[in-house]
Amino acid sequence: MIAYICAACGVQFAETPSPPERCPVCEDSRAFGSERGNHQRWTTLAELRTGHRNRLRELEPDVVSIGTEPWFSVGQHCLLARGASGNILWDCISLIDDATVAAVRALGGISMIAISHPHFYTSMVEWSRAFGNVPIYLHAADRQWVLRPDSAVVPWDGDTLQLNDEFTLVRCGGHFDGATVLHWAARADRPGRLLSGDTIHVVEDGETVTFMHNFPKRIPLPAAAIRRLVDAIEPFEFERIYGCWPANVLPAGGKHAVLRSAERYIEDLAL
């Protein structure tokens, strides 16, 4: 029995004696498609560990990027957010190995996992088990995409979930019904931050963001979805935004950038 991993999207499936026949994530309208349109291919954690490794990079003293080299699947990173009441792993990647576990433990370990949307569920169960079966917070609207069920998965409902004094999950919808961002409240020595996955995607100029139904195929979200997203984040203050790749950081003026980008986006849709 093996927990196979889709080589295209990186999502790990429940254990089976042979590879699954299909990957629903890759067949969905928001995905690249199996192997960028080619034949479906499967891999395993054991295979990944032979040819890949994870690299940890400090983006700032309490934000650590964890990404896989060479590039695997979607290529996103996950973020270790080092909070005063414990560390949160935001989003997830397929590869986890002894070296990664040791490096993360040296930084204080992980007290919980929270994931923005199903494209980044990856090997979330393996990560949870490696750090003592920590809870994995996923929005209940996306429960159908949990392809490796586990008791560590905590479906949450509603518009927000306050995890502790620092961290709040905010359901924005849009890219997926339960697409979520993580708000990190301001404290005396730093402003508020938003960890956005690609629910709110920081573009290459480092000044604006965008919102999509399908990113690789450039299929836009409707204006109504953007308005709901803006309404969801409006109560929260933040300056910096961290996206789903290490380079996707908007260093300042984050909330203003989201509001400005959303207004432009809606205007362009109306043309």
Which superfamily does 5-38+52-269 belong to? Ribonuclease Z/Hydroxyacylglutathione hydrolase-like (3.60.15.10)
Is the model's pLDDT at 35 over the cut of 50? no
pTM: 0.96
Domain ranges of the chain: 5-38+52-269
* Per-residue pLDDT tens digits for 210-222: 999 998 888 999 9
* Per-residue pLDDT tens digits for 148-200: 999 999 999 999 999 999 999 999 999 999 999 999 999 888 899 999 999 99
pLDDT of the residue at 33: 58
Q: What is the mean pLDDT of the chain?
A: 95
* Per-residue pLDDT tens digits for 98-151: 999 999 999 999 999 999 999 999 999 999 999 999 999 999 999 999 999 999
pLDDT band at residue 15 using 50, 70 and 90 as cut-offs: very high
pLDDT of the residue at 36: 46
3-state SS string for the chain:
CECCEECCCCCECCCECCCCCCCHHHHCCCCCCHHHHCCCCEECHHHHHHHCEEEEEEEECCEEEEEEECCCCCCCCEEEEEECCEEEEECCCCCCCHHHHHHHHHCCCCCEEECCCHHHCCCHHHHHHHCCCCCEEEEHHHHHHCCCCCCCEEEECCCEEECCCCEEEEECCCCCCCCEEEEECCECCECCEEEEECCCEECCCCCCEECEEECCCCEECCHHHHHHHHHHHCCCCCCEEEECCCCCEECCCHHHHHHHHHHHHHHHHCC
